[in-house]
Amino acid sequence: MSIRSGSATALGAVLAILASPVLADPLPSWNEGATKAAIIEFVESVTDPALDSYVPEADRVATFDNDGTLWAEQPFYFQGIYALDVLKKKAEADPSILSSDVLKAAASGDIKGATAKGVEGLIEVGNISHAGMTVDQFQKDAREWLTTATHPTTGMHYADMTYQPMLELLSYLRDEGFTTYIVSGGGADFLRSFAQEAYGIPPAQVVGTEGDTKYEEVDGKMVLMKRGGVSFIDDKEGKPVGISRHIGQRPIFVAGNSDGDFAMLEYATSGEGPAFGLIVHHTDADREFAYDREGHIGVLSRGLDEAEKRGWHLVDMKNDWARIWSVPK
Amino acid sequence: MSIRSGSATALGAVLAILASPVLADPLPSWNEGATKAAIIEFVESVTDPALDSYVPEADRVATFDNDGTLWAEQPFYFQGIYALDVLKKKAEADPSILSSDVLKAAASGDIKGATAKGVEGLIEVGNISHAGMTVDQFQKDAREWLTTATHPTTGMHYADMTYQPMLELLSYLRDEGFTTYIVSGGGADFLRSFAQEAYGIPPAQVVGTEGDTKYEEVDGKMVLMKRGGVSFIDDKEGKPVGISRHIGQRPIFVAGNSDGDFAMLEYATSGEGPAFGLIVHHTDADREFAYDREGHIGVLSRGLDEAEKRGWHLVDMKNDWARIWSVPK
């Protein structure tokens, strides 16, 4: 081999390395370790046509919970904080709308009082805060709030409190031929107000709790009006139902963080063929929040007990993630 | 110019023409005429970035009704005929399930008797025919039926009675960056049993009437069980609601055939920006069926009255379509 052809070969090899997507780290905000290795191993196992574990692109469905999985959820679901803010503003204009103790507590920002009755209280608030406007108006207002209101402890805009490692995971999966969906207990209309910008997930790939909407004429234009009331709750055993209704396929990659995601994880990983379950475990009190078995939201107990047995992978936020927020504080 | 370079130029021009997708007819089964021209003109107007009417790919949402729009619906919705067949089989094993006049009529194949009570009767039949099995089992059974049972007048398999010109339209739109959805009064689970194969439309792009499903354990496996009962009817004013729930965007291209599609057509064409409404008018008694203002299904009356005023385009099946069926009889 002449020096000349040797150089050309070496140059070719260098160019091949630089151009190779395999050798670029697809998850730079994930520390090296078992979790990151398991994710990459799974993705490679289902995307290599030479392997028995290969899954065609059409079946590469990935579903992600949102609150506590793609962005933070403390001290309370951000949509709940938004609902309280809207209620407060509405009550300033018309105090008579505060017709119950739950609503009075909610309008004063008292989350504990507003949720004392559980999800019923939230629905009562939502029936006022998320009603009487079109879906478009609601989404415009929500988007405005998410990018201007600030979180009580971090001081960040809510829209900036998404997790950088999870954004990388979403992109990585899409680059590898997966279709990524949100499957959240949060409201679908609310999620769609920011999912495209925050996560690269278009409206049609958002599955969430559904408010009652009515098709009607307003000022000569046909619109979809939010009426209050909830027609579908996409949480717990509702998540596999929501997946069946909207996606019509069993996911092969599921990420969640609480026992509200247990059924979705179970559904995905109890089908035929390969599947991957991921649980984001909130272990980082310094950079984010630390919670699991106790608390008013995001409780993770059964998931912790059964993850190992079921082959689900726990993300230890403190040790697995080199960085938390997509936008630095 | 030398002969040689002249030849090269001519060859280049020929190659450019052969390679040009614009010059290949995207709708070969559509006769030349106003309808075909209007479709192509609209698509070109929203896909040319140089024009004010340009619509980015993410917003190129197209929704299609199914029964009477993508495939035939006479003498009765094929899903209805399927339901009657299933009921008949179940009643042979256990006659006691025929506990009402509607069910007795249905099991004897008497469509008129089964639908005398309207949609309520169909739901009553569906509560037996579409219940007590998993979504997967149901879809397998439906697919089997569609490809083996034969239509009473054409003798064709139901799965073959899709309209070739509409298949070309779906492909054309997708080639031009549209995402194509079914938005049908038919059952979503039923539609998903054949939509990918018949139309190239994946399960997640099917919006339809939704039966109640429950997530439960059967033989140690977690499944989605069809329970009977209907949780959402995707027809008439329900179609814009279904679009909002599933797609979260206003479509810019809508095709239907009956007044059940009126609201969906109206919704799409009353938004901001360009939109196209198409109504398949069943005018071909020889090759398909001729019907509009009268009948028990697929009634098109208000749509006929208002199409011109609203700028919707009527497909005259007899004259606009060179071929009807995707599979020759």
| Residues β-bridged to residue A315 | A280
Number of domains in chain A: 1
Examine the pLDDT at A16 and tell me if it is beyond 80. no
Per-residue tokens: A140: 């415009």
Per-residue tokens: B133: 């099995």
- Whether residue A307 is contained in a domain is answered as yes
In chain B, whose CA is at the least distance from the CA of A272?
B221
Chain B partners within 8 Å of A246 (Cβ) = 204, 246
What is residue B18's predicted lDDT score, i.e. its pLDDT?
55
Residue A134 near chain B (CB below 8 Å): no
| Residues β-bridged to residue B218 | B221
Contact B312, B156 (CB under 8 A): no
- Whether residue A133 is contained in a domain is answered as no
Examine the pLDDT at A13 and tell me if it is beyond 80. no
At A54, phi and psi to the nearest 5? -55, 140
Residue B302 near chain A (CB below 8 Å): no
> Residue B190 has what DSSP assignment?
H
Q: Strands B290-291 and B313-316: what pairing?
A: unpaired
Q: Which letter, b or e, does each residue of A129-139 get, where b requires 16 or more Cβ atoms within 10 Å of its Cβ?
A: bbeebbbeebb
What is residue B173's predicted lDDT score, i.e. its pLDDT?
98
- Whether residue A89 is contained in a domain is answered as no
Residue B329 near chain A (CB below 8 Å): no
| Region label for A236, one of left (φ > 0), alpha (ψ between -120 and 50) or beta (otherwise) | left
Q: What is the distance between the alpha carbons of residues B178 and B101, in angstroms, rounded to a whole number? A: 46
- Whether residue B288 is contained in a domain is answered as yes
Top-confidence residue, A95 or B18:
A95
Residue type, B36: K
Other Cβ atoms less than 10 A from the Cβ of B2: the count is: 7
CATH number of the CATH domain containing B254: 3.40.50.1000
Sequence-ordered alpha helix ranges (H) in chain A: 3-19, 34-47, 78-93, 101-107, 111-114, 119-129, 135-146, 164-175, 188-192, 195-199, 238-246, 262-269, 302-310, 317-320
Contact A254, A265 (CB under 8 A): yes
Q: Taking the mean position of all CA atoms in its chain, how far away is CA B201?
A: 10
Examine the pLDDT at B10 and tell me if it is beyond 80. no
- The gap between the terminal CA atoms of chain B, to the nearest Å, is 56
Q: What is the distance between the alpha carbons of residues B108 and B120, in angstroms, rounded to a whole number? A: 18
What is residue B16's predicted lDDT score, i.e. its pLDDT?
55
The pLDDT tens digits of the residues spanning A37-71 come to: 999 999 999 999 999 999 999 999 999 999 999 99
What is residue A1's predicted lDDT score, i.e. its pLDDT?
35
- Whether residue A48 is contained in a domain is answered as yes
pLDDT-based confidence at residue A78 (cuts at 50, 70, 90): very high
**CA B63-B65-B66 angle, 5° bins:** 125
In chain A, whose CA is at the least distance from the CA of B200?
A58
Q: Which letter, b or e, does each residue of A64-74 get, where b requires 16 or more Cβ atoms within 10 Å of its Cβ?
A: bbbbbbbbbbb
Contact A251, A40 (CB under 8 A): no
Residue type, A93: A
Mean pLDDT of all residues in A301-318: 98
SS3 B150: strand
- Whether residue A14 is contained in a domain is answered as no
Q: Quick one: which of B203, B173, B171, B172 has its CA closest to B188?
A: B203
What is residue A296's predicted lDDT score, i.e. its pLDDT?
84
Top-confidence residue, A14 or A191:
A191
In chain A, whose CA is at the least distance from the CA of B247?
A204
Q: Half-sphere exposure of residue A89, counting CA atoms within 13 Å on the CB side?
A: 10
Furthest C-alpha separation in chain B: 90
pLDDT-based confidence at residue B14 (cuts at 50, 70, 90): low
CA distances from B20 to A10, B109, B176 (A): 40, 52, 14
Interchain proximity A204–B179, CB inside 8 Å: yes
Residue type, B9: T
Per-residue tokens: B195: 């939509």
Q: Strands B290-291 and B276-283: what pairing?
A: antiparallel
| Residues β-bridged to residue B277 | B254
Interchain proximity B192–A270, CB inside 8 Å: no
Mean pLDDT of all residues in A313-328: 96
Q: What is the distance between the alpha carbons of residues B86 and B77, in angstroms, rounded to a whole number? A: 14
Instruction: Tell me the ipTM for this assembly.
Output: 0.91
Question: CA Rg, chain B, in Å?
Answer: 22
Residue A219 near chain B (CB below 8 Å): no
Residue A182 near chain B (CB below 8 Å): no
Other Cβ atoms less than 10 A from the Cβ of A54: the count is: 14
Examine the pLDDT at B1 and tell me if it is beyond 80. no
- The gap between the terminal CA atoms of chain A, to the nearest Å, is 56
Per-residue tokens: B20: 């040009």
Chain B partners within 8 Å of A203 (Cβ) = 247-249
Q: What is the mean pLDDT of chain B?
A: 93
Chain B partners within 8 Å of A192 (Cβ) = 248
Lowest mean pLDDT among A107-111, B187-191, B200-204, B281-285: A107-111
Q: What is the distance between the alpha carbons of residues A122 and A112, in angstroms, rounded to a whole number? A: 11
Residue B292 near chain A (CB below 8 Å): no
Q: What is the distance between the alpha carbons of residues A135 and B175, in angstroms, rounded to a whole number? A: 30
The residue count for chain A = 329
Residue-wise DSSP of B41-93: HHHHHHH-TTSTT---GGG-EEEE--BTTTB---SS-HHHHHHHHHHHHHHHH
Secondary structure of A297-321 in HEC code, one letter for each residue: CCCCCHHHHHHHHHCCEEEEHHHHE
Q: Quick one: which of B150, B196, B151, B184 has its CA closest to B288?
A: B151
Mean pLDDT of all residues in A237-245: 98
Q: List, in order, residues 6 or more apart from B149 with CB less than 8 Å away.
A: B81, B82, B85, B157, B158
- Measured N-to-C along each axis, helices A34-47 and A164-175 cross at an angle, to the nearest 10 degrees, of 20
Q: Strands A206-218 and A276-283: what pairing?
A: unpaired
Chain B partners within 8 Å of A188 (Cβ) = 245, 248
The pLDDT tens digits of the residues spanning B183-212 come to: 999 999 999 999 999 999 999 999 999 999
- Whether residue A131 is contained in a domain is answered as no
At A253, phi and psi to the nearest 5? -140, 125
The pLDDT tens digits of the residues spanning B228-255 come to: 999 999 999 999 999 999 999 999 999 9
A283 membership: H or E segment, kind and range: strand A276-283
Name the residue range of residue A316's domain: 26-74+141-320
Residue B12 near chain A (CB below 8 Å): no
Q: What is the mean pLDDT of chain A?
A: 93
Contact B225, B133 (CB under 8 A): yes
Question: CA Rg, chain A, in Å?
Answer: 22
Examine the pLDDT at B27 and tell me if it is beyond 60. yes
- Whether residue B113 is contained in a domain is answered as no
Contact A246, A210 (CB under 8 A): no
The pLDDT tens digits of the residues spanning A113-124 come to: 888 877 788 889
Nearest to A240 among B58, B188, B224 (CB): B224
